[in-house]
Structure 1
Amino acid sequence: MTALSILLSRLSLWFSAFGLVSMTVIIGWQVIGRYLLASAPAWAEQAALFLMLWFILFAAAAGVREGFHIRLSLMQDSLSEPRRRFLAIVCHAVVGAFGLAMTYGGGQLVIETWQHMIPTLGLPRGLGYVPLAIAGLLIAFFALEHILAERSDRKVEPLWS
């Protein structure tokens, strides 16, 4: 499970980095088109927004595994080890439940909006919401890895350790 988790996290981060670079290039092209060529491409803004959904959600999923998401640990750190571990498991279970809800809700959103087209891109609007479902599943998977690690008294090692 750990090897698969590391692979999925690494792929999510690479995909997010590629999306961020792509969005930066598109926005740069839009600025050049608007201010230097006096003709901005109509598709640039929608393409950047489309990519933003993808790379932010995959980075957020990787953040659950890697532990670079926002969290408050003051109470958890002040507890005895058995209580700290129990609270950590509960917190990861809540995050996992959120991921499953995100998967379900994202899947419903994809289904409901698939027939609507993004005019300037010619792509189904539902395609922009696919990362909600995938990232939710990844979040649930990474939360499960953390739960299993806590139960066996070990830590999930981040990619950069």
Structure 2
Amino acid sequence: MKRLEHIFVVLNGWALIGMLSAMALIVGANIFLRYFTAHSLPWADEAARYLMIWLTFTGAGLILRIGGHVAITNLQDSLPATGQKLLRALIVLILLTFFAYMVYVGWQYAQRMQFQVTPALRLPFLYVYAAMPVGFALLIVHLLLIARPFIGAGDYKSLDARGVDDDTVTGGANG
């Protein structure tokens, strides 16, 4: 199981690296062409925008794993240990419910947009809006993988120097 989790995290990370690299290359090429040939790629801004949308949704789960999202821990810190565990369990349940709802809503919205196409790339908007259900599904998987240590001790996964999951880090929202 730990090996599958590691593969999942690494693949998620490489997908983000690929999208960010593609975005940088497209924008860089467009800037070069604009200033050195007086012509630009008509689809570059649109492609970069859609890659940024996909980066945001698919990267949220990796940030969740390490406690990188904003969190206010005043209530949790004021509770006794048992109360803290119950509060964290409630938070996990609320998040799972919200993420599942957003997968459902996102998929419905993406399906509604499947017959409209983007202006420059002429891609069905389904591919753009699919970032939402895919991203929230990834959030569900990442949350389930960290739920036990988070509920038990408020731990998040830590990253080693290579950005790969190490053991866990105890602490608040920022590890």
Shorter-chain TM band: 0.7 to 0.9
Q: CA deviation at 1:155?
A: 4.2
TM-score, length of structure 2 as denominator length? 0.81
Write the distance in 1 (CA, Å) between the matches of 2:86 and 2:2.
Answer: 21
**Per-residue deviation, residues 53-89 of structure 1 (Å, max 9, x unmatched):** 1111111122222322221223212321111111111
Asked whether the 8 Å contact 1:16–1:56 carries over to 2, the reply is no
Indicate the residue corresponding to 2:38 in structure 1. Answer: 38
Indicate the residue corresponding to 1:134 in structure 2. Answer: 134
Write the distance in 2 (CA, Å) between the matches of 1:6 and 1:67.
Answer: 17
Asked whether the 8 Å contact 1:27–1:44 carries over to 2, the reply is yes
- Secondary structure at the residue paired with 1:118? coil
Amino acid at match of 1:120: A
2:106 paired with 1:117:
no
Q: CA deviation at 1:104?
A: 0.7
Q: CA deviation at 1:100?
A: 0.8
Paired-residue identity, %:
25
1:42 and 1:138, CA in 2 relative to 1: closer, same or farther beyond 3 A? same
The 5 Å alignment of 1:9-48 reads 9-48=9-48
Higher mean Cα deviation, 92-101 or 148-157?
Answer: 148-157
1:91 and 1:6, CA in 2 relative to 1: closer, same or farther beyond 3 A? farther
TM-score, length of structure 1 as denominator length? 0.87
1:131 and 1:117, CA in 2 relative to 1: closer, same or farther beyond 3 A? same
Q: Which runs of 5+ in 2 are unaligned?
A: 161-165, 167-175
Q: Which runs of 5+ in 1 are unaligned?
A: none
**Per-residue deviation, residues 142-161 of structure 1 (Å, max 9, x unmatched):** 22334344566684533433
Indicate the residue corresponding to 1:88 in structure 2. Answer: 88
* RMSD of aligned residue pairs (Cα, Å): 2.1
Amino acid at match of 1:34: R
